[in-house]
Amino acid sequence: MTGADQIRDSKMYVRHMAAENKLPFEVDREYGPCSCGNQNRNRYGPLDESLNRRRIIEAKEWERHHRAELEPLSLCYALSPIQYIGSGITVEPLHSVRLVGLAMHPAVTEIFAEDKTFVVLLRSEKSLGVLYLNEPPQAKGFEVVGNRTSMLQIRGELKISVLDPILRSLYYNSTVYDINERDIVNFQFNNFTVQIHIHIRRTTVPFLFDVGPGDDITKKVTVITKTFERYQAVTRLIESINKYYPGMTIIVADDSERPQKINGSNIKQYIMPFAEGVSAGRNLALSQIRTKYFLWVDDDFIFTNGTKLELFIEKFENQNILLDVIGGTLGNKDGVSRKEWYGCRTISWYKGDDDGDCFVRHSNTHYQQLKEYPQCYMTDAIIMFFMARTEAFRRGVFDPEYERIGHTEYFVNRLGKIRLASCSDVNILHVRITNQKYAKFRKHAPVDEMVKHLLLNMNLKCFKL
């Protein structure tokens, strides 16, 4: 059987599918009931009935706003005589774009020889734009109806010499302003119909940092931290930073009850309301960064010979890899990494139904090694010693609801939005300092309330740490 015969035999099937205008099968997007495993002390959820009703309402509202982010499914019909691009065509709001890729197989003229004519019909399914034939070819034997409307019809003699120039001159013009929306153009040729997805997307502009002349790392990196009632710890941290990187800007967010001034020409201390919380402090410090990169450290960390920030920068500026966040490890006082302290965590996310989703955090696990840096592993969450590209990290904030803890929660919220690795060639010393007042707030953190917030905030049925 020739290709032309196969196309002819499938004509009735495609005609039927065109009339139905839907996929001929069920699409599994991996939604359904989910589970976090057996009940134990590390499993949380579900919410009580009242909170759960609020979660369902908020989840539907979130889905409405984020629906345009989903990549559409575009069915490419088998043996269709129409060549087309199902998705990937993007246009600025209120601008035009050519429907690139449209063409007819040469066998079309043979198959429809008995018809002698063709009909091309284009329709904007959501009426978000109009269709038009730009600079119609100089040929006789065809007519255009509805140019620059949401439904365009072209009739003519079935000749490739006429068809090809027409297909190369078809345009879509967005007429409804929206920064992120999708339209579908139904393209029908005689009894064959295909769908072309148009992504209406406002251009995002760059946000660049001027690192200045030369290669001074203190002009590229800002150290940020949050402190609460632990001036002995934060003073010790600052002294260690100045030992290895004198002059590097250090931002301290401080929500102690009776703030003490932290001295130093390179110190920017921001006073917050009392006990405002670690996440609010992280956001405050993050908002004040003026450099291309920043380094997050807890206030009871200490720089050592192993805290080589240049190795972070080297990886960020390697043209062969693309990372937004790079975590280090914990080490000893001599700057030797403790490999068991990678702190890598991976997160399995399971799509659920109206009962919510589920996630399970796996400790001491990671994905593949970086080919260029075998000491680095891709992962989902890391310890709170990391360097990040400021522009990338600012796309999301720490949730202020997490006042005393809020580590894994941030990285779960950034799944699929930041590229993250953990490397063992940069380390820092962790020496805990506590006191009665600090311990009181840390010990009495409202864990139950934070669990409820996390379940509702992330649309969860349950989660397991």
The pLDDT assigned to 447 comes to 72
For 111-135, the pLDDT digits (tens) are 665 557 788 999 999 999 999 998 7
Cβ neighbours for 213, distance < 8 A, ≥ 6 positions apart: none
At residue 75 the predicted structure's pLDDT band, cuts being 50, 70 and 90, is confident
Same domain? 244 vs 368? yes
Domain assignment present for 456: yes
Domain assignment present for 38: no
Report the SS3 class of residue 69.
helix
| Confidence check: pLDDT of 5 > 60 | no
Tokens representing 112 are: 């429809």
Q: Considering only CA atoms, give the Rg of the chain.
A: 29
- If one counts the domains in the chain, the total is 2
Question: Please, are residues 172 and 185 in contact by the beta-carbon 8 Å criterion?
Answer: yes
How crowded is residue 250: how many other Cβ atoms within 10 Å of its Cβ?
A: 23
The pLDDT assigned to 392 comes to 87
Domain assignment present for 313: yes
Same domain? 140 vs 196? yes
Same domain? 327 vs 401? yes
Question: Please, are residues 186 and 21 in contact by the beta-carbon 8 Å criterion?
Answer: yes
Q: Give CA–CA dist 340/346, Å, rounded.
A: 16
The pLDDT assigned to 115 comes to 59
The pLDDT assigned to 450 comes to 80
Same domain? 175 vs 251? no
Q: Residue 156: enclosing H or E segment and its boundaries?
A: strand 151-157
Same domain? 179 vs 304? no
Same domain? 344 vs 407? yes
Cβ neighbours for 440, distance < 8 A, ≥ 6 positions apart: none
Domain assignment present for 35: no
Q: Give CA–CA dist 408/405, Å, rounded.
A: 9
| Cα–Cα–Cα angle for 148, 150, 153, rounded to 5 degrees | 75
| Confidence check: pLDDT of 329 > 90 | yes
Domain assignment present for 347: yes
Q: Give CA–CA dist 277/282, Å, rounded.
A: 9
Domain assignment present for 5: no
Tokens representing 295 are: 């380094």
For 288-300, the pLDDT digits (tens) are 999 999 999 999 9
Same domain? 310 vs 254? yes
Same domain? 238 vs 106? no
Please name the residue that has the structure tokens 């302003």.
177
User: Which CATH number do you get for residue 86?
Assistant: 2.60.40
Q: Give CA–CA dist 196/402, Å, rounded.
A: 44
Same domain? 243 vs 319? yes
Last residue of a domain, one of 172, 201, 230: 201
Question: Please, are residues 370 and 340 in contact by the beta-carbon 8 Å criterion?
Answer: no
Is the pTM above the cut of 0.85? Answer: no
Same domain? 330 vs 402? yes
The pLDDT assigned to 9 comes to 43
Same domain? 405 vs 262? yes
Strand partners for 186: 123, 195
Per DSSP (E only), the strands in 284-378 are: 293-296, 301-302, 325-331, 345-353, 356-363, 376-378
Domain assignment present for 208: no
Q: How far apart are the first and last CA of the chain?
A: 59
Domain assignment present for 269: yes
For 377, counting Cβ atoms within 10 Å of its Cβ (0-12 exposed, 13-18 middle, 19+ buried), the class is buried
Last residue of a domain, one of 142, 168, 201: 201
Last residue of a domain, one of 201, 228, 255: 201
Same domain? 103 vs 232? no
User: Which CATH number do you get for residue 353?
Assistant: 3.90.550.10
Q: Give CA–CA dist 309/156, Å, rounded.
A: 68
At residue 146 the predicted structure's pLDDT band, cuts being 50, 70 and 90, is very high
Q: What's the domain range around 251?
A: 217-464
CA distances (Å), origin 112, targets 155, 158, 452: 14, 8, 64
